[in-house]
């Protein structure tokens, strides 16, 4: 497999900007939506967020390891690298007290209703993201996605860490790495499970669109 270096650089740059700017304003805020819109315009073609990459994986050719899984897997790694650079710089400069400051420990797998809601959130976001011509629309849509997932975990399971990991998973993984792997198993579980559920929602949206 030939690595697309331009795509990797776009992912690193986009993840760096998101980790640097969003950590100070809080995910789900108006400011975060504006940042995401700006990042998607500046780094055209970059997924930036792991949950978006998972959606691309699930809506691509699932049998194509070299053309689908490997390139998207490399994007996930590039996002972690970009977020890690930002976190290390902010920590060294004193912008945040600890690399683990923004992360809650532990992971509770969603119950049936929580999983269904996450699939629905993925389907709604993917429909908007793929049909909208404006990065601004996608920026606000991803905040709605985070809100839906956060509401699911808060109401159904009393836990909001999964919503954070699903949308800003690169930052959470990078923060764990910078903290000597603290809670990395829980972060990885949320990163994969939530990504797959949202990706399944995106796949459902594609199939429904094909049947209509």
Measured from the Cβ of residue 159, the count of other Cβ atoms closer than 10 Å reads 18
- The reported pLDDT for the residue numbered 179 is 77
Give the chain's residues under pLDDT 70: 1-2, 22-29, 93-110, 147-169
Contacts of 17 (CB under 8 A, 6+ apart): 35, 39, 42, 43, 86
User: In this predicted structure, what is the pLDDT of residue 150?
Assistant: 56
What domains can be seen in the chain, in order of their start residue?
A: 5-211 (1.20.1080.10)
Q: What is the pLDDT of residue 9?
A: 93
Provide the pLDDT for residue 138: 86
Handedness of CA 130, 132, 133, 138 (dihedral sign): negative
Tokens encoding 26: 């809080």
pLDDT for residue 37? 87
Q: Looking at the whole model, is its pTM more than 0.85?
A: no
pLDDT tens by residue, 3-42: 788 899 999 999 998 888 766 565 666 777 888 888 889 9
Q: What is the CA radius of gyration of the chain?
A: 16
d(CA 191, CA 198): 11
Q: Cα(137)–Cα(18) distance, rounded to whole angstroms? A: 17
193 contacts: CB under 8 Å, gap ≥ 6: 109, 110, 162
């Amino acid at each position: 497999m030939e690595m697309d270096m331009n795509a990797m650089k776009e992912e690193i740059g986009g993840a760096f900007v998101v980790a640097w700017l969003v950590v100070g304003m809080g995910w789900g805020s108006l400011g975060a939506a504006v940042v995401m819109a700006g990042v998607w315009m500046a780094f055209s073609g970059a997924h930036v967020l792991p949950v978006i990459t998972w959606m691309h994986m699930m809506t691509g050719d699932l049998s194509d390891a070299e053309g689908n899984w490997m390139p998207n897997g490399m994007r996930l790694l590039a996002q972690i690298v970009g977020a890690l650079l930002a976190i290390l710089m902010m920590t060294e400069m004193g912008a945040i007290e600890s690399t683990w400051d923004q992360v809650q420990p532990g992971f509770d797998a969603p119950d049936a209703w929580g999983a269904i809601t996450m699939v629905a959130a993925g389907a709604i976001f993917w429909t908007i993201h793929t049909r909208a011509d404006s990065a601004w629309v996608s920026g606000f849509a991803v905040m709605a996605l985070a809100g839906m997932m956060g509401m699911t975990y808060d109401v159904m399971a009393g836990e909001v860490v999964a919503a954070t990991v699903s949308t800003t998973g690169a930052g959470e993984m990078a923060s764990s790495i910078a903290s000597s792997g603290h809670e990395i198993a829980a972060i990885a579980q949320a990163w994969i499970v939530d990504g797959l559920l949202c990706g399944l929602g995106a796949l459902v949206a594609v199939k429904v669109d094909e049947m209509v």
